Amino acid sequence: MQALSTANAELARRRAASVPRGVGCVHPVAIVRGSGARLWDAEGREYIDFVGGIGVINAGHAEPAIVAAIARQAEAFTHVSFQVASYEPYVALAEALNRLAPGPAAKKTLLLSTGAEATENAIKIARAYTGRPGVIAFQHGYHGRTLLALSMTGKNAPYKQNFGPFCSEIVHAPFPHELHGWSVERALEALDEIFAGSLAPERTAAIIIEPVLGEGGFVPVPPAFLRALRERCTREGIVLVCDEIQSGFGRTGGFFALERYGIEADLVTTAKSLAGGMPLAAVVGKAEIMDAPALGGLGGTYAGNPVACAAALATIELMDEAFFARAEAIGARVRGAFEELAARYPHDVAEVRGLGAMIGIEFASRETPVVPRIVERARERGVLLMPAGENNVIRTLVPLVIDDATLDEALRRIASAADDVLAPTATKE
């Protein structure tokens, strides 16, 4: 009799046969259940989740208050479309986000379903407001996979490969990161060269930047650079868009990383952990700018779905000062564990960095990249990780409800996975 394949392998086989290969997959496991910071696969194996659905599960898997809010709203109604009739959860969420977005200016909020939609709509709004076409985005930045968002994304393979031509009038500037030779001064000079050479300020509608690079490797933007962008945008009438889709909603110890910078953006995009796993995104911005598009210019059938709005309102209730303090404490513990690794493998670890609980560890390049192997060894030990950057960074997006014992256990397993990969061949001077 033919041996039955395992449940994980069987789903992987069906996936390969039924879904295009272009949708990548880090872990060949079939998830059947989640709770808090843990996931279980179809074979009953338990994992400590350091990925959180790529930064979506800051409030924890199957968080009871969010599940109850979803159920209540689903029983009332699941959809009418906000372009057809109003419903309270959309308006209440807009009011909440207007209150929470950093800075004193009066705000308005547009709700959407995905991060890419949010970044695209931010640019549409900036263009409508300024009457200008140009956009400056950053190398290594990530803003989504739809065509305008992808055009702004600053990484070629695999996201942009074979998908051109891209939208015109988008120029990528270097992101300041000392480790790779881009000081704040050099990055600002490069920006000014773009203004002088390829995209004049008076043709620039928006500058879009992540306060902490997400896919690009968890690099916080130096405060001096963000301040300089704010000054240039104010001086030239350019809309400053801060993409907080990965850095927001608890990850960096507040609703928005911008709170740490003391800077008011003109528009902020948010998504991911905003709605505890439901597809929801938002553009929150200065009311005057948000009102620039004409009546009917914004929207989307599912945009601001009421079930997702109910989940977001419940998420906001959960995220109090204690929640944010916990994010800081988790970040400090993760950073400490990664710094120990850096001390053990000084020639293999290039940098430990991050903000709040958005911590990354970058490894020096080697002929065979070490991060995919560490990720695999960690999974074998029951921890799910995800790479970032050029597959040379491990990023941590652990649900912020994890307790210390579980966190420490996961960090021990990650260190042991790294030992497995690095110890036998640790690079020497």
Ligand X SMILES: Cc1ncc(COP(=O)(O)O)c(C=O)c1O
Residue ranges in contact with ligand X by CB under 6 A: 54, 114-116, 119, 142-144, 210, 214-215, 243, 245-246, 271
Q: How far is the CB of 247 from ligand X (least distance, A)?
A: 7
Which residue number is nearest to ligand X in terms of Cβ? 115
Q: Which tokens go with 226?
A: 């963000």
Which residues partner with 207 through β-bridges?
A: 136, 240
Count CB-CB contacts under 10 A for residue 163: 12
Q: Classify burial at 106, counting beta carbons within 10 Å of its beta carbon; exposed 0-12, middle 13-18, buried 19 or more.
A: exposed
Asked whether the beta carbons of 384 and 49 are under 8 A apart, the reply is yes
Nearer to ligand X, 226 or 422 (CB): 226
Q: Which is nearer to ligand X, 145 or 373 (CB)?
A: 145
On the question of a cis peptide bond just before residue 64, with omega within 30 degrees of 0, the verdict is no
CB of residue 308 to ligand X, shortest distance in Å: 12
Q: Tell me which residue of 366, 368, 363 sits closest to 345, measured CA to CA.
A: 363
What contacts 24+ positions apart, CB below 8 Å, involve 379-382? 379/27, 379/29, 379/47, 380/417, 381/413, 381/416, 381/417, 382/45, 382/46, 382/47, 382/48, 382/413
Least distance between ligand X and beta carbon 246 (Å):
4
Please state the closest distance from residue 60 (CB atom) to ligand X, in A.
19
Cβ proximity to ligand X, 259 vs 348, nearer residue: 259
Question: Could you tell me the smallest distance in angstroms from the CB atom of residue 215 to ligand X?
Answer: 6
- Who contacts 325 (Cβ-Cβ below 8 Å, separation ≥6)? 253
Q: Between 201 and 217, whose beta carbon lies closer to ligand X? A: 217
- The smaller minimum CB distance to ligand X, of residues 201 and 214, is found at 214
Q: Are 341 and 415 in contact (CB under 8 A)?
A: yes
| Contact (Cβ atoms closer than 8 angstroms) between residue 69 and residue 34 | no
As measured in angstroms, the least distance from the Cβ of 345 to ligand X is: 28
State the Cα–Cα distance between residues 179 and 177, nearest whole angstrom: 6
Give the residue with the Cβ less far from ligand X, 243 or 266. 243
Q: SS3 helix, strand, coil % of the chain, rounded to 5?
A: 40, 20, 40
Rank residues 152 and 422 by Cβ distance to ligand X and give the closer one.
Answer: 152
Of the pair 55, 331, the CB lying nearest ligand X is at 55
